[in-house]
Amino acid sequence: MMTRTGPAPSNPDHRSQGEVRGLSPGRWIVLCAGAEAIGMTAAALAAKLAQHVLGDDRQATTLALAVLVAGGLVEGGALGALQASGLRRRLPQLNARRWLWVTTAVAGLGWAVASVPGVLTPDDGAPEPALPLVLAGALALGAVMGAILGAAQATTLRRLVRRPARWVLGNTLGWPPTMAVIFLGATTPESTWSTPSVAALGTVTGLVAGTALGVVTGRFLPGDDDIVPAHARSSAPTRPM
């Protein structure tokens, strides 16, 4: 009997640490960075447009608010769409539409609400808050929004993964640094900056913020051992983190 002495066939399921089938950490980071670049560009343009709408007329507040909300919804929609496109490579049964809607609602409206004070508050010459105070507030807001967004998105992961609460933890940890970068970028431009300059800064801010989000949350993507087999999903219990 002849024995095969050649190299052993590679295991197609063998992956580098942190990689999951169809969705590598690098791909996830690119998706998050791209989404935030789109979103922050839209949000920056919305903030600039809201300033133009307001001008010296404080009666235009409703229209300015609508512009801010629209910019925030673009940010949330971009994040939800690109994240869902990546997760569907790992979880084909993911309800991408529901993921898109909950992400748009929480991330988009959350960012719009956070933008309101900076745009609608009259410029009365008072000194701006110190940068450490701004960043501390951004970290706190990021933790709260991350927990809410993670919990909302986790409802879409139930029955698909065994530990959906891990996704809540990942977002709670991932959004504070992301929000700090966003606030740093949002507070940099003066009212005299041109629209193209504001848009360019928004794009760069989004790329950096999205990269931070992707790096942290990518470590909490569901792995092979965390995915519930299709035949067991109707009765599969979920486990704590």
Which residues, in sequence order, are bridge partners of residue 158?
A: 161
Residue 126's pLDDT is what? 63
Asked if the structure places residue 86 within a domain, the reply is yes
- Domain residues for the domain of 190 are 25-118+128-222
Residue 161 forms beta bridges with which residues?
158, 227
Sorted by sequence, the CB contacts under 8 Å of residue 200 that are 6+ apart come out as none
The whole-number pLDDT of residue 10 equals: 45
CB 84 within 8 A of CB 99: yes
Looking at residue 214, its pLDDT comes to: 98
Using CA of residue 16, residue 17, residue 20, residue 23, what is the dihedral sign? negative
According to the model, what pLDDT value does residue 16 have? 44
Q: What is the pLDDT of residue 157?
A: 96
Tell me if 236 is assigned to some domain: no
Residue-level pLDDT at 13? 44
Task: Identify the three-state secondary structure at position 142.
Answer: helix
At 191 the pLDDT is 80
CA-CA distance, 83 to 170, in Å (whole number)?
Answer: 14
Tell me whether residue 205 is in a domain: yes
Which residues are CB-neighbours of 63 under 8 A, at least 6 positions away? 53
Q: What is the pLDDT of residue 1?
A: 46
- pLDDT (tens digit, 0 to 9) for every residue of the chain, 241 residues total? 444 454 444 444 444 444 456 799 999 999 999 999 999 999 999 888 888 877 656 567 778 788 888 888 999 999 999 999 999 999 999 999 999 999 999 987 787 777 766 666 656 566 778 889 989 999 999 999 999 999 999 999 999 999 999 999 999 999 999 999 999 998 898 888 999 999 999 999 999 999 999 999 999 999 988 899 875 665 545 555 5
Residue 199 lies inside a defined structural domain of this protein? yes
Domain count for the chain, please give it: 1
In a domain, 12, yes or no: no
Question: Is 3 inside any structural domain?
Answer: no
Q: Note the pLDDT of residue 41.
A: 96
Asked whether residue 204 is domain-assigned, the answer is yes
Give the model's pLDDT for residue 117: 66
pLDDT for res 123: 60
Tokens of 42: 């839209």
For residues 171 and 147, is the Cβ–Cβ distance under 8 A?
yes
pLDDT at position 198: 95
